[in-house]
Amino acid sequence: MGHPEKAAKFIANNENMKWHDRALWFVRENRDLAVHGIDEWEKLREVAKKIKTHTIEKLDYYLEEFERNAKDKGIHVHWAKDAKEHNEIVLKILIDKGATKLVKSKSMLTEECHLNPYLESHGIEVIDTDLGERIVQLRDEPPSHIVLPAIHLKKEAVGKTFEKFLDTEKDNCDPTYLTRVARVHLREKFLGADASLTGVNFGIAQTGGVVVCTNEGNADLGTSLPKLHIASMGIEKIIPRLKDLSIFTRLLARSATGQPITSYTSHFHAPVEGGEMHIVIVDNGRSDIIADEDFKQSLHCIRCGACINTCPVYRRSGGHSYGYTIPGPIGSTLGASKDLRTNKTLPFACTLCASCTNVCPVQINLHNQLYKHRQSVVAQGLLGLKKHTILRVATWLMKHPSLLDFTGKMARKIVPKIPRALLYSKANVWGKRRELPKFPKNSFKELYRQQQKEKS
Amino acid sequence: MVRENYAQFLDGKDGFEHLRTHIYELVEFLHDVIKPESLNASFPYKVGIHNSCHGHRELELASMSERNLPEFSKVQKILSLVDDIEFVTLKRNDECCGFGGTFCVTNEAVSVAMGIDRVADHLSAGAEVMTGVDMSCLMHMQGIIDRDKLPIKTMHIAQILAGE
Ligand code: SF4
């Protein structure tokens, strides 16, 4: 099933879809307020783009600088070329230390690598400690959003989930009550953990340290209690200097939720006392994207989720309809870059409205990328026979103007005479929920010619 | 479309440069080239402007809600020359209507959901007429209006400017 079919299912629950749309629009509105609060917003976006462009151009240089400085601080650095290597490295670190209980803060990279099931199959208990992530983990679902992983669930659904797994009171879905229960539950897990894993928002080449942004403080708790901290980082997370960080922290939280800054912006620049810190640097297809002029900008992404919140298609189709780790515009382009065949419907899950490109804090040309991916879908023959044939016929017709005029003329004559039952048959997808336009007697061209004649 | 996207197919071809620099969207042409100070037209209705995405974000006919730049609208400025016209304020000023070319049939459910929402926004703002620069958006939303027999209608901006 591609995106359109899964989206249609999501929309079939009309009330839920509308609620989802409104919830995310609310986030977008908060973002707008925050953005209009600082005059230099557009300037910040420009500078951020420049820093990212420069860094990606010289990524090898900065990655090596990062590794050197991290090692100097006593941090172990590992390189993983793909998801498999990443998972194996993480498992080995855990086994070497005899760790069996891992607490994780949010990391889309480990979602991308499917780390949880891998570790679980090797006897490691993995607990996602971000509240939203814990909810979807209990339900055995993937996150439906990169910043708001459980945004597809209303509080009633969360209540039911907690009832089942955390023994909460029946039918109690009061958010404060549920959060308290989750807090107690997670505290136990934090205290019992012997290792923690975090994602990385920024890796600073100049200092060799990493920065993790959260709102719940779960990364801090996780990394402070156990003696082993593993940070998984995509190669594109590097920024050159410490002073570049402020540009991105100002952009990130405002774009994500409308906050001036995330509640916790945690710097990890050494292992905790008597402990160990490891950074696993992961490629997993990113180098291939860097090599592609059309799509390399997608690696500038700071995972704020603004393009997802603003996307009118995402808001009405839900994150799971994309079938890729990251949904929305950025996910559609990354997914298509990674595996066009599997994700061939994603570049079309878009009206090319360009809201994403303009909302993006690092100015990624998202909609242009999706447009480009569409061309690859066609070029690689992945479009599907029906759509391909229709477009071929349309192209042919448009290349023959007099034939096109004639077809139009016939349509204007014939269509109004077709009985409704036939006209609105199943084949008429437009007409399922919309009336066809009223056909005028004459085309614009005909009217124009007629007027010109009358004038002369 | 022609100006922004045809280059990849036609760059360097005879006449393309001329085409690219001599093609205008109607409002753009009126606003930037003709610069009329009055129009002999009256339209005593409450009007909602649907900012069609390609005119809005590609041709920059008006400021976008995503950006933090000075506000302007060439569309509204030109429409303001029409006597007796009244504009309504929408909740979502520049959300896409969901037409999107082939999207309207290949992603039918999303397309329709978006169209319904767009029309509803105009209706609850008290608009009697929805107008815009893009025929296809209006056709899509008129299809929904007709099916649901809603008390609103779409008109292309040219119809209003011409005093129809
Ligand atoms: S592509 Fe841009 S808007 Fe979307 S998540 Fe990444 S940084 Fe944010």
Q: Region A94-119: what's the mean pLDDT? A: 97
- Residues 6 or more apart whose CB falls under 8 angstroms from that of A237 comprise A200, A201, A202, A203, A210
Residue A414 included in any domain: yes
> What DSSP element (H or E) covers A47?
helix A41-57
- At B50, list the tokens: 């649907």
DSSP string, B38-87: --S-B--SEEEE---HIIIIIS-SB--TTS-S---BHHHHHHTTSBT-EE
Contact A196, A102 (CB under 8 A): yes
B57 to A353: CB separation less than 8 angstroms, yes or no:
yes
Residue B100: CA count within 13 A, CB half-sphere: 30
Q: Region A149-153: what's the mean pLDDT? A: 97
Ligand 1 atom showing the smallest separation from residue A255 Cα: 8
Q: How far apart are CA A84 and CA A364, in angstroms?
A: 29
> Is A100 found in the same domain as A224?
yes
> Is A255 found in the same domain as A232?
yes
Ligand 1 atom showing the smallest separation from residue A256 Cα: 8
B117 chain-A contacts, CB cut-off 8 A: 21
Verify whether ligand 1 is closer than 6 Å to residue A306 (CB atom): yes
Helix (H, G, I), strand (E, B) or coil at B35: coil
Ligand 1 atom showing the smallest separation from residue A303 Cα: 5
First to last CA, chain A: 59
Query: Using CA atoms in the order A371, A373, A374, A375, what is the torsion angle rounded to 10 degrees?
Result: 100
Helix (H, G, I), strand (E, B) or coil at A129: coil
Residue A82 included in any domain: yes
Sign of CA dihedral B34, B36, B41, B43: positive
> Is A325 found in the same domain as A433?
no
Contact A295, A247 (CB under 8 A): no
Verify whether ligand 1 is closer than 6 Å to residue A307 (CB atom): yes
Work out the pLDDT band at B163, boundaries 50, 70, 90. confident
Residue A290 included in any domain: no
Q: Is the pLDDT of residue B2 over 90?
A: no
Angle at A338 between CA A337 and CA A344, to 5 degrees: 70
- From the list B100, B107, B147, the residue facing A7 with the nearest CB is B107
> Is A249 found in the same domain as A172?
yes
Q: Is the pLDDT of residue A76 over 90?
A: yes
**B50/A contact by beta carbon, under 8 A:** no
Which domain covers residue A99, as residue numbers? 38-284
Q: Give me the phi and psi of A21, to 5 degrees please.
A: -60, -45
A32 chain-B contacts, CB cut-off 8 A: 65-66
Helix (H, G, I), strand (E, B) or coil at A57: helix
Q: Is the pLDDT of residue B164 over 80?
A: no
Nearest Cα residue in chain A from B99: A351
> Is A55 found in the same domain as A30?
no
Q: How far apart are CA B17 and CA B7, in angstroms?
A: 9
Residue A331 pLDDT: 98
Work out the pLDDT band at A175, boundaries 50, 70, 90. very high
Work out the pLDDT band at B105, boundaries 50, 70, 90. very high
Q: pTM score > 0.90 for this model?
A: yes
pLDDT tens for each residue of A402-436: 999 999 999 999 998 999 999 999 999 999 999 99
Pocket probe mutation, ligand 1, options A45, A307, A365, max atoms within 8 Å of Cβ: A307
Work out the pLDDT band at A102, boundaries 50, 70, 90. very high
- Residues 6 or more apart whose CB falls under 8 angstroms from that of B17 comprise none
Residue A388 pLDDT: 86
- From the list A8, A38, A354, the residue facing B109 with the nearest CB is A8
Residue A434 pLDDT: 97
B55 chain-A contacts, CB cut-off 8 A: none
Q: How far apart are CA B75 and CA B82, in angstroms?
A: 12
Contact A232, A90 (CB under 8 A): yes
> Is A168 found in the same domain as A302?
no
Complex ipTM value:
0.96
Cα A306 to middle of ligand 1, angstroms? 6
Residue B11 pLDDT: 87
Beta-strand relationship, B153-156 and B129-132: parallel
Rounded to a whole number, what is the distance in Å from the CA of A56 to chain B's nearest CA? 25
Contact A304, A256 (CB under 8 A): yes
- Interface probe with B: pick from A353, A392, A395, most Cβ of B within 10 Å: A353
Least confident among A32-36, B37-41, B148-152: B37-41
Residue A101 included in any domain: yes
Residue A289 included in any domain: no
> Is A305 found in the same domain as A175?
no
Residue A83 included in any domain: yes
Q: Region A316-343: what's the mean pLDDT? A: 98
For residue A369, the domain's CATH number is: 1.10.1060
B107 to A32: CB separation less than 8 angstroms, yes or no:
no
Verify whether ligand 1 is closer than 6 Å to residue A360 (CB atom): yes
> Is A109 found in the same domain as A31?
no
Domain total of chain A: 3
> Is A304 found in the same domain as A255?
no
Contact A369, A265 (CB under 8 A): no
Question: Exposure string (b/e) for A141-152, b if CB count within 10 Å is 16 or more?
Answer: bbbbbbbbbbbb
Q: For ligand 1, atom 4, name the residue with the nearest CA.
A: A307
Residue A162 included in any domain: yes
Break chain B down into helix, strand, coil percent, rounded to 5: 45, 10, 45
Residue A183 pLDDT: 96
More reliable by pLDDT, A153 or B164: A153
> Is A133 found in the same domain as A241?
yes
Helix (H, G, I), strand (E, B) or coil at A229: strand
For residue A65, the domain's CATH number is: 3.40.50.10420
B4 chain-A contacts, CB cut-off 8 A: none
CATH 3.40.50 fits B38-161, yes or no: yes
Q: Which of A334, A365, A383 finishes a domain?
A: A383
Q: What count of residues does chain A have?
A: 456
- At A428, list the tokens: 């008429």
> Is A369 found in the same domain as A403?
no
Residue A149 pLDDT: 97
Residue A46 pLDDT: 98
Domain boundaries, chain B: 38-161
A17 chain-B contacts, CB cut-off 8 A: 113
Work out the pLDDT band at A385, boundaries 50, 70, 90. confident
- Count of Cβ atoms closer than 10 Å to residue B120 Cβ: 15
Question: Exposure string (b/e) for B36-47, b if CB count within 10 Å is 16 or more?
Answer: eeebebebebbb
Q: Is the pLDDT of residue B1 over 80?
A: no
Q: How far apart are CA A296 and CA A305, in angstroms?
A: 18
> Is A208 found in the same domain as A158?
yes
Q: Rg of the Cα trace of chain A?
A: 26
Q: What is the DSSP letter of A114?
A: T
Angle at A316 between CA A311 and CA A320, to 5 degrees: 90
Residue A153 pLDDT: 97
